């Protein structure tokens, strides 16, 4: 059950991160660069967001797991 909990937390972090990328960063970049057809930028932001979100979610999941293991040792 604990392993599933870590995956759920990592997935939630990924979704939150992608929301930030799509709804805050992407519109800002389209406006800043005055793009008429932002599909390429949208795809690039999707890829970068997924990679960064996956790394971020994995880091948080591992940190939580290490903290729980440390509590169990004490």
Measured distance CA(53)–CA(61) in Å, rounded: 12
What DSSP line would sit under the chain, residue for residue?
A: -HHHHHHHHHHHHHHHHHHHIIIIIHHHHHHHHT-S-THHHHHHHHHHHHHHHHHHHHHHHHHHHHHHHHHHH-
**pTM to 2 decimals?**
0.56
Could you list the pLDDT tens digit for every one of the 74 residues in the chain? 566 777 777 777 777 877 777 788 778 878 887 878 888 877 887 788 778 777 877 788 788 888 888 888 87
CA–chain centroid gap for 50, Å, is 6
């Amino acid at each position: 059950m604990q392993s599933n909990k870590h995956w759920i937390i990592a997935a939630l972090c990924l979704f939150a991160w992608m929301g930030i990328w799509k709804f805050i960063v992407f519109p800002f970049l389209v406006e800043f660069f005055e793009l008429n057809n932002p599909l390429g930028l949208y795809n690039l932001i999707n890829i970068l967001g997924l990679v960064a979100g996956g790394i971020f979610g994995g880091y948080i999941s591992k940190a939580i797991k290490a903290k729980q293991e440390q509590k169990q040792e004490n």
